[in-house]
Amino acid sequence: MAEGRVVGIDLGTTNSLVAYMQGDTPVVIPGVDGSNLVPSVVALDPIAAAGGRPTVTVGNSARKALIETPERVIYSVKRLMGRGLGEIQEELKLFPFHLADDIEEGEVPRIRLGELKFTPPEISAYVLRQLKRNAERFFGEPVTQAVITVPAYFNDAQRQATKDAGRMAGLDVLRLVNEPTAAALAYGLDHAKVGTIAVYDLGGGTFDVSILKLRDGIFEVQSTNGDTHLGGDDIDNLLLAIALDEIHAEHGVDLRGNPGAVQVLRKAAIEAKISLSTESAAHFDMELPNGDRYQREIPRAVFEMLIEPVLERTAGPCKQALKDAGLTPEQIDEVVLVGGSTRIPAVRQLVDDLFHLKARGKKPQIELNPDEVVALGAAVQADILAGASKTTEEMLLLDVTPLSLGIEALGGAVARIIQRNSTIPASATEHFTTGVDGQTNVAIHVVQGERELAADCRSLARFDLKGIPPMSAGLPRIEVKFLIDADGILQVRAREQRSGLAAEIEVKATYGLTDEQVESMILDSFDHAEEDFAKRLLIEARNEAETILAAVDRAPESPAWRQLSPEEQAAIHAARGRLAAIKQGEDAAAIRNATLALDQATRRFAELMMEAAVSTAIRGKTMDAAGNDMGDDVTAPHAMAPAEFK
Amino acid sequence: MFKTLDSAVPVACWSCSIGHNDSTLFCPHCSKIQPPPGGDYFSVFGLKPRLELDLSALEQEFHRLSRKLHPDRFARALVNEKEWSLADTALLNDAYRTLKDPLRRTEYLLKLEGAEIGEEHSGKDRVDPSRVPADLLEEVFDLNMQLEEMRMARKIGDEDSALEASLAEAKEKFSGLLKAVDEDLRAEWRAWDEGNELARQASQKRMVALLDRRHYLSNLVRDVTETLGA
């Protein structure tokens, strides 16, 4: 197999990035729109070709569709990865998505998107494929191998689901790397090589904290902790719920049944949150369907009081991680901040308090862009795996498993066989026997978690050890080896020792897709055929050109068009003409450049369109109709009286 | 698929075909990675079983071997080399985790020597009244009464500061006893490492008893801590 490049991918809740090592520096690869961040948003194109399957768009263009066709868009799908039916239903209370109605117990849940249904790994695969294409466009050659990051606190099923998504996107996933560890790698490249650091990673949907010891290029994780249900999304939902409640109470308008309007409010909430990191107050101001205006000022002090319970939930995992590492806050030399939410001043204050930084004359590390540092670290790890690089040949990452592995013992208690924070790969060998004469099967239930009862832990898999030679009860001795690999994923093997027979085991994962299912979900098979590569680049370039040309041709019908100056209109016409002429040629790069030029020329027009769409969504009746099947599922994540806001 | 740990048959290297002793991670002739060797955790680090260890030397050796064995170094290797890198690294990590921790190391060595030790990992066992060390019988009985009283008081929302103080005092005392056990254990390490076969047998017996006592005391301290902190 060709030894191509290995790229590093940060598959985030909100945004995803792809990066690579350029010489001795990790660099993020921009998309065709010049942006480093690809929003983890997937949309079904509403203008489906007659009879054909609708096309899928990813990233910024999909995000625009959030407001226009919210029922055909999905975001934050990372929160649903590797989760069972019950958990997803819980999660969906916070998001305007709906499950397919024909899901059977034990199946991987599918989400409705327009007229189609997708499993969470399939949605993630679309995001990954976009990143793969961005990288291929950048290098002008196929990219088939990648390192993908996951939250350190992801369990086995969530990790497996991420690997499945990679495979569907045509990527050979060489390694899953924990996000905080990746960040440490990025920082460790040019920082002091000795010391103890903590990485505090508050992302869009997950929180992780990891403590690492650095020595001679070895990054040894001491402990990790976190919460896979905690992130910037929770803050957005909090602000959103309050705005919805207030609009309902003060103006008698219930926007909860109007997904387009909810997305507009969500966007406003996110903007308010972001501006509060630098401003002392933020403002909501929007027109409601009944003509009223919803206006509200949010002073930073109120915002901080509001989010305190969310932020406070990161304190417990930090303390536990310190305890598990056997360290006091004073023994942490540096704290690295990762994730967009760490821009919030109150978060930095909390970190300062938790690790006694100010008292020691220290500050949290924020030199690297918190949105990019994980992807940069993934690129470093990709370089380590690819080998033969001077920069990283001395570097080695020793990570740990975040959760204890156990088996269900008699009475439902958990017998722990691999403790959390064990360096991976890690293994444990257990012996089982039969309880009845002539018994040929033994069932084993494997769980992950820290609780004492199996029922309170996360069920990983049930195994059936089959083909045990019939013997008296208690005589067979079946050796089962549990091994957590370097990706943090469990492998199991068994052998009957008395007869020397390898007992057949049937591993039924409690959650997750079978190999056959993953195989059937692999996106466009021509994606990984190298000979088709040039052809594909051309086809993609032409498709992009077609899409933008069609949009530009419809532009004069839009009221926004009239807001443009004659010069702006002329510039668009000129760029349009150039692209139309070049499009039929064979030069993919030229087509792409012309597309980019047209995209630039129409930028202000697109903004005007967005503004128009936003006010339509708030006022328009059309959106109400579309939102009827949304039900009342968008509810406040936390009961919060409007009074607290005043 | 798996080698049993007690096999010590000479095997031929899969790569250069020259025979070598089984207990090696790399072929002494061609340096290629080998399947997990037989032998105990100590032999992974080239050590004879012993209880007093130089932890910083152990860490250095752990890092040196990790650099050579870790799956990250075999991401693009042959399928079987990948497989062995994974299995060898798991063995190395399991060995390091066990040997760097004094209690795990002691338990592991005693098991290697054939001693019967209670399983630490089978759930979170509460204090078993039948295993109370004889010299503590009376105090433990009192303590358990107080713990029960405290839990009841907590349940109905009562504050009993006298009881709390008395429990804190008991915790202090049992923590002290725990420290004493650890010191006794440390003394046994040297006795075992330096003793002859007979001295080792005697030391093993004492260590098994000390571990039992330690297990009992640490459960007790944990129960008190939990009850006080609840």
- Cβ–Cβ of B66/A398 closer than 8 Å? yes
Chain B closest-CA separation from residue A128 CA (Å): 21
Q: How confident is the model at residue A353 (pLDDT cuts 50, 70, 90)?
A: very high
Chain A residues inside the 8 Å CB shell of B2: 479, 481, 493, 495
Which is nearest to B67 in space by CA: A384, A190, A173?
A384
pLDDT at position A235:
92
Tens of pLDDT, residues A553-563: 888 888 888 88
Asked if A486 is an interface residue toward chain B (Cβ–Cβ < 8 A), one would say yes
Chain B residues inside the 8 Å CB shell of A7: none
pLDDT at position A618:
54
Residue A179 pLDDT greater than 90, yes or no: yes
pLDDT at position A181:
94
Residue carrying the six token digits 């606190």: A153
Q: How confident is the model at residue B128 (pLDDT cuts 50, 70, 90)?
A: low
Contact A47, A39 (CB under 8 A): no
Could you tell me which residues come within 8 angstroms of residue B169 by beta carbon, excluding any fewer than 6 positions away?
A: none
- ipTM attached to this prediction: 0.83
pLDDT at position B125:
44
Which is nearest to A181 in space by CA: A325, A29, A336?
A336
Asked if A489 is an interface residue toward chain B (Cβ–Cβ < 8 A), one would say no
Contact A282, A275 (CB under 8 A): yes
Chain B closest-CA separation from residue A492 CA (Å): 12
Chain A closest-CA separation from residue B182 CA (Å): 18
User: How far, in Å, CA of B215 to CA of A253, rounded?
Assistant: 63
Tens of pLDDT, residues A84-106: 887 787 777 767 778 887 777 77
Residue A212 pLDDT greater than 70, yes or no: yes
Q: Which one has a higher pLDDT value, A66 or A527?
A: A66
Residue A455 pLDDT greater than 50, yes or no: yes
Residue B37 pLDDT greater than 70, yes or no: yes
Helix H or strand E encompassing A640: none
Chain A closest-CA separation from residue B189 CA (Å): 24
Q: Is A483 helix (H, G, I), strand (E, B) or coil?
A: strand
- Cβ–Cβ of B67/A218 closer than 8 Å? yes
Which of A460-474, B82-96, B129-143, B172-186 has the least mean pLDDT? B129-143
Q: What domains appear along chain A, each with residue ranges and CATH number?
A: 6-187 (3.30.420.40), 232-309+625-645 (3.90.640.10), 405-511 (2.60.34.10), 532-601 (1.20.1270)
User: How far, in Å, CA of A123 to CA of A13, rounded?
Assistant: 12
A residues 390-409 lying closer than 8 A (beta carbon) to B: 396-398, 409
A438: left (phi over 0), alpha (psi -120 to 50) or beta: left
In DSSP terms, A459 is beta-bridged to: A447
DSSP assignment letter at A330: G
- Cβ–Cβ of B1/A175 closer than 8 Å? no
Q: Please state whether beta strands A281-287 and A293-299 pair in parallel, antiparallel, or not at all (unpaired).
A: antiparallel
Q: Which one has a higher pLDDT value, B141 or A47?
A: B141
Q: DSSP letter string over A494-509? A: EEETTT----EEEEEE
Q: Which residue of B has its CA nearest to A486?
A: B71
Chain A residues inside the 8 Å CB shell of B97: 422-423, 426
Mutate to test the interface with A, among B6, B94, B100, B119 (most CBs of A within 10 A): B94
Helix H or strand E encompassing A160: helix A156-168
pLDDT at position A317:
94
A residues 409-428 lying closer than 8 A (beta carbon) to B: 409, 413-417, 422-428
Would you tell me how many other CB atoms lie within 10 Å of the CB of residue A58?
Answer: 24
Q: How confident is the model at residue A484 (pLDDT cuts 50, 70, 90)?
A: very high
Active-site residues of A: which are they?
10, 78, 179, 201
- Cβ–Cβ of B75/A174 closer than 8 Å? yes
Q: Is A94 helix (H, G, I), strand (E, B) or coil?
A: coil
Please give the average per-residue pLDDT across A266-273, as a whole number.
Answer: 90
Could you tell me which residues come within 8 angstroms of residue B13 by beta carbon, excluding any fewer than 6 positions away?
A: B19, B20, B27, B29, B30, B32, B34
A326: left (phi over 0), alpha (psi -120 to 50) or beta: left
Q: DSSP letter string over chain B? A: -PPPTT----EE-TTT--EE-SS-SB-TTT--B-SPPSS-HHHHTT--S-S---HHHHHHHHHHHHHHH-GGGGTTS-HHHHHHHHHHHHHHHHHHHHHHSHHHHHHHHHHHTT-----S-SS-PPP-GGG--GGGHHHHHHHHHHHHHHHHHHHTT---HHHHHHHHHHHHHHHHHHHHHHHHHHHHHHHHHH--HHHHHHHHHHHHHHHHHHHHHHHHHHHHHHHHH-
Q: Please state whether beta strands A405-408 and A414-418 pair in parallel, antiparallel, or not at all (unpaired).
A: antiparallel
Which is nearest to A206 in space by CA: A164, A155, A153?
A153
Q: Which one has a higher pLDDT value, A609 or A227?
A: A227
- CA B208 from chain centre, in angstroms, equals 13
A residues 196-255 lying closer than 8 A (beta carbon) to B: 215-216, 218, 220
In DSSP terms, A490 is beta-bridged to: A484
User: How far, in Å, CA of B42 to CA of B91, rounded?
Assistant: 11
Quick one: what percent of chain A has pLDDT higher than 90?
A: 35
Q: Find the DSSP H helices in A407-556.
A: 515-520, 533-554
pLDDT at position A526:
39
Residue carrying the six token digits 């969500």: A266
pLDDT at position A113:
85
Please give the average per-residue pLDDT across A193-215, as a whole number.
Answer: 91
Which is nearest to A57 in space by CA: A46, A71, A68?
A46
Please give the average per-residue pLDDT across B208-228, as a whole number.
Answer: 84
For the record, the structure tokens of B136 come out as 């503590």
Q: Is A73 helix (H, G, I), strand (E, B) or coil?
A: strand
pLDDT at position A160:
92
Residue A118 pLDDT greater than 50, yes or no: yes
Q: How confident is the model at residue A550 (pLDDT cuts 50, 70, 90)?
A: confident
Q: How confident is the model at residue A192 (pLDDT cuts 50, 70, 90)?
A: low
User: How far, in Å, CA of A77 to CA of A75, rounded?
Assistant: 5
Q: DSSP letter string over A210-249? A: EEEEEETTEEEEEEEEEETT-SHHHHHHHHHHHHHHHHHH
pLDDT at position A209:
96
Residue A436 pLDDT greater than 60, yes or no: yes
Please give the average per-residue pLDDT across A419-438, as a whole number.
Answer: 89
Helix H or strand E encompassing A430: strand A426-432
Residue carrying the six token digits 């027009």: A605
Residue A628 pLDDT greater than 50, yes or no: no
DSSP assignment letter at A153: T
Residue carrying the six token digits 């009860």: A473
Tens of pLDDT, residues A574-616: 999 999 888 888 888 888 888 888 888 888 887 787 677 666 5
Q: Which one has a higher pLDDT value, A635 or A329?
A: A329
The CB-side HSE value for A287 (13 A sphere, CA atoms) comes to 13
Which is nearest to A591 in space by CA: A600, A599, A582?
A582
In DSSP terms, A418 is beta-bridged to: A405
DSSP assignment letter at A86: H
Chain B residues inside the 8 Å CB shell of A177: none
Chain A residues inside the 8 Å CB shell of B96: 423
Contact A378, A149 (CB under 8 A): yes
For the record, the structure tokens of A555 come out as 């532009």
User: How far, in Å, CA of A129 to CA of B100, rounded?
Assistant: 44
Residue A525 pLDDT greater than 60, yes or no: no
Please give the average per-residue pLDDT across B76-87, as a whole number.
Answer: 90
The shortest CB-CB distance from A483 to any of B70, B90, B96 is to B90
Cα angle: A53, vertex A55, A61; to 5 degrees: 160
DSSP assignment letter at A451: -
Contact A446, A440 (CB under 8 A): no
- CA A444 from chain centre, in angstroms, equals 32
CA distance readout (Å), A503 to A70, A447, A481, B80: 51, 21, 12, 22
pLDDT at position B120:
46
Residue A532 pLDDT greater than 60, yes or no: no
Contact A528, A144 (CB under 8 A): yes
Tens of pLDDT, residues A229-261: 898 988 998 898 888 888 888 888 888 878 778
Please give the average per-residue pLDDT across A25-35, as a whole number.
Answer: 89
For the record, the structure tokens of A110 come out as 């599918």
Residue B3 pLDDT greater than 60, yes or no: no
A515: left (phi over 0), alpha (psi -120 to 50) or beta: alpha
CA distance readout (Å), A29 to A33, A396, B116: 11, 24, 59
Please give the average per-residue pLDDT across B71-89, as a whole number.
Answer: 91
Contact B66, B59 (CB under 8 A): no
Residue B123 pLDDT greater than 80, yes or no: no
Which is nearest to A68 in space by CA: A577, A528, A616?
A616
Q: What is the mean pLDDT of chain B?
A: 82
Residue A620 pLDDT greater than 70, yes or no: no
Chain A closest-CA separation from residue B10 CA (Å): 21
Please give the average per-residue pLDDT across B20-24, as a whole number.
Answer: 72
Q: What is the mean pLDDT of chain A?
A: 83
Residues of B with CB under 8 A from a CB of A: 1-2, 4, 63, 66-67, 70-73, 75-76, 86-87, 89-91, 93-94, 96-97, 121-124
Which contacts of A212-215 are long-range, i.e. CB under 8 A and separated by 24 or more positions?
Answer: A212/A181, A212/A184, A214/A184, A214/A188, A215/B63
Torsion angle of C-alpha atoms A150, A151, A154, A158, degrees rounded to 10? -40
Tens of pLDDT, residues A283-342: 888 888 788 888 888 899 989 999 999 999 999 999 999 999 999 999 999 999 999 899
Contact B147, B224 (CB under 8 A): yes
Chain B residues inside the 8 Å CB shell of A422: 93, 97
Chain B residues inside the 8 Å CB shell of A3: 76
pLDDT at position A623:
35
